Structure 1
Amino acid sequence: MSLPLSLQRYISDLGLAIPVPLDMSFVESLQATHIARYSFNSLAVVMGEDISLNLEDISQKIVKRGLGGYCFEHNKLTFELLKALGYDVKLVMARVLKNQEQEVPRTHRFTLLNHEGRQYLVDTGFGGDCPITPLLLQPDVLQKSGNDVYRIVAKPEGEYDLQILKQGDYYTMYRFDLAVYTDADCLAGNFYSHRYPMAGFVNNLMVGLKDASRTIFLMNHELMERQQGNLKKQVLSSPNDLYQVLTNTFGLDIEWVIAEHLFDRFLANNLALLNKEDQSEAVL
C-alpha cells in the first residue's frame, strides 16, 4: 500500500507496520504509542502562531520536528492514517464541558471507528485525561484504559458524554453526537481555539504526555505527575525550571529565551499570587 509521505513518516516514526488484515490491535497500538510519544500542548497557540490543519504541515510539526500540538492536529493525523489504511472512520466534533453544564462551541475533534459491527472512540488529542486505547461506544459500561476508568453516558437528543473516574466520582470530559461533520467544522473550531481571546488554550500554557504507567501534565506553574495511583505536584519557580521541564521531561526542542518568555507570561503572576497567599496564611 502506498501512503502519502506525511503518513509514511508518521507510521514509521511510531515503529508500526501496516496491518494485514485490518484489526483493532493496530488501532490500539497506534493510539497508545501516539499519546506516549507526541506531546499535547498549547505552545504554538500561546506563541501566536497560525495553526495549520494541512496534513503535511501537521506531520512536519508533530512527527518531524517533535513539537506536538492539540486535538485538531493530533486527531487529524490519526484519522487520515486510519482512513488511508482502509478503516471505516468518521470525524466527530465535541463540546468540552470540564464537568460543567455550559454553553460552549464544538472545539474538540476525535475519530469514531466502525470495526466488525462495533463502534469505537479513538482520541489522540485530549491531554492528561485522554484514553490511551479505543473506547467502545456502549453506554454505562466501565472501560479501563491504562490507569484510568471511563464510561459513556447516553443523553437526550442522541448525545453522549464521555466521563473519566476521578477521586471516586465521574468527571465529564466532553459531549458529542453522531451528526455529519467535515474539515470545515474543524476550521471553525480551530480558529476559535487559537484566536478567540477568552479561549483556554490562548490563556494557559499546557503540555502533557501519557502512557500506560504515567501521566505527566504541565498547567502554567504546576507540574503534575500521576503514577500507580499516586499524584505528585511540583511548582516551577524559575525560567530554568520551566526550560528543563519542557526540554528534558517533554522533549521539546525550544530555546531558553522562549522558556523565559513563557515563564514571564504564564507562571510569574501565578507564583506571585501563591506567595501572597502564603504570606497571608503566615500572618493569620
Structure 2
Amino acid sequence: MSILFDDYLAELQLVPPEQPNLAFLNQFITRHIASFSFNSVYSVLGKTMPLELEELLEKVVNQGMGGYCFEHNKIAFEFLRSLGYSTRLVVARVLNNQDRSAPRTHRFTVVELNQKSYLVDVGFGAACPITAIEFGEVWQRSGLDRYFIREIENREFELVVEKEGGLFVLYRFDLANYSEADCQVGHFYSHQHPDAVFVNNLVVSQKSANEVCVLTNETLHTRSATQQTEQVMDTANKLHQVLTQQFKLNIEEDESRHLFERCIATKL
C-alpha cells in the first residue's frame, strides 16, 4: 500500500486487512463518510479544485476541508485499489427522483469481491449509503436508510432509497468503461459552470450510523431514528459556528461571510 495513505488510515483509525474482505470494506465506507464532510464550499468560493490524489488527500484529510463526489470517491477508488480490491470507476446521472436528461456528474466505485458486485459510494452527501450495496433487487439497510439497486432497460441500473412517499431514485448508471478523463469533464461542469448546483448552493453534510446532518443554504437539518430538527442560519456568525463546530471545517470567518452573502442572505 502507498505511503500516501498513512495519514488517511490514521485519521480513520483503520488497520489494512491481509486480504480484501467485505467487513473491512463496510468499516472503511462508514468511517470515511462519518469523518470527512461532503460539501460544495470550494465550488461556491470559486477556488481551484485539482483532482490529483496528493492534493485531494491534502485538502480532505490534512486540511479538514472535505469535498464532493469527484474528490471523495477518487480517494476511495485509489485507496481500495492499493489494498488489492478489484475496483471499477463508474460515472452516473443524478436524478433525485426526476426522470430527466441529466449529465454524468457523479462518480462512485463498483467493487468485485467473492464473485459479487458492490456499489461503493463515499461522496453522495446526506443520501449516501454508509455501507456497500450489493447488486440485486433486494432491500439492504445501511445506517438509517434502506437501499437497493434496480436494473432497468438498456443495461442500466438505478440506486434507489426508501422514503416515506415510496421509492426515490438517486442516480442512474451503466457499467461501461469510464476513465479519469470522463471525471474531469463532469468535475469541470460541477464546479465551474455558472448554472451548476454546487456553484450556486451551499451544501454541507455528514452522516453516521445514527445521525444525518445536512446544511442546504440557510437550513440545517438533523435526523436520527427518533427525531428531526431544523435550524436557520440567519447570520454569518451562526453559519461560521456551524461550519467550524458542527462540520469541523477549517474555514475563515471572511469565507463564511462570503458563503452567507452568496447563498443565504438573499433567501431570508
Give the equivalent residue in structure 2 for 1:212. 209
Q: How many residues align?
A: 268
What is the CA distance between 1:169 and its match in structure 2? 1.0
Distance in structure 2 (CA, Å) of the matches to 1:234 and 1:12: 33
Alignment counterpart, residue 81 of structure 2, candidates 74, 83, 93? 83
Distance in structure 1 (CA, Å) of the matches to 2:9 and 2:202: 28
Give the equivalent residue in structure 1 for 2:67. 69
For 2:79, the aligned partner's letter is L
- Give unmatched runs, 5+ long, in structure 1: 272-284
Structure 2 counterparts to residues 129-148 of structure 1, below 5 A: 129-138=127-136, 140-148=137-145
Contact in 1 for aligned 2:243/2:249 (Cα 8 Å): yes
Question: TM-score by structure 2 length?
Answer: 0.98
What is the CA distance between 1:232 and its match in structure 2? 1.1
Distance in structure 2 (CA, Å) of the matches to 1:182 and 1:8: 26
Alignment counterpart, residue 203 of structure 1, candidates 194, 200, 205? 200
What is the CA distance between 1:76 and its match in structure 2? 0.3
For 1:164, the aligned partner's letter is V
Give the equivalent residue in structure 2 for 1:101. 99
Alignment counterpart, residue 37 of structure 1, candidates 20, 29, 35? 35
Alignment counterpart, residue 128 of structure 1, candidates 126, 129, 150? 126
1:92 aligns with 2:60: no
For 2:116, the aligned partner's letter is R
Contact in 1 for aligned 2:45/2:258 (Cα 8 Å): no
Distance in structure 1 (CA, Å) of the matches to 2:244 and 2:48: 22
Identity between Structure 1 and Structure 2 (%): 45
For 1:148, the aligned partner's letter is D
Give the equivalent residue in structure 1 for 2:230. 233
SS at match of 2:9: helix
Map Cα deviations across residues 65-107 of structure 1 (whole Å, 9 max, x no partner). 1100000000000000110111111001100001101111100
For 1:25, the aligned partner's letter is A
1:221 aligns with 2:232: no
Distance in structure 2 (CA, Å) of the matches to 1:53 and 1:255: 23
SS at match of 1:120: strand
Alignment counterpart, residue 17 of structure 1, candidates 11, 15, 18? 15
Distance in structure 1 (CA, Å) of the matches to 2:20 and 2:39: 31
CA RMSD of aligned residues (A): 0.9
Map Cα deviations across residues 167-205 of structure 1 (whole Å, 9 max, x no partner). 141111100000000000000000010011111001100
Contact in 1 for aligned 2:19/2:84 (Cα 8 Å): no
- Give unmatched runs, 5+ long, in structure 2: none
Give the equivalent residue in structure 2 for 1:254. 251
Question: TM-score by structure 1 length?
Answer: 0.93
Alignment counterpart, residue 49 of structure 1, candidates 47, 50, 75? 47
Map Cα deviations across residues 206-236 of structure 1 (whole Å, 9 max, x no partner). 0000000000000000000001142211111
**Runs of at least 4 residues of structure 1 off by over 2 A?**
none
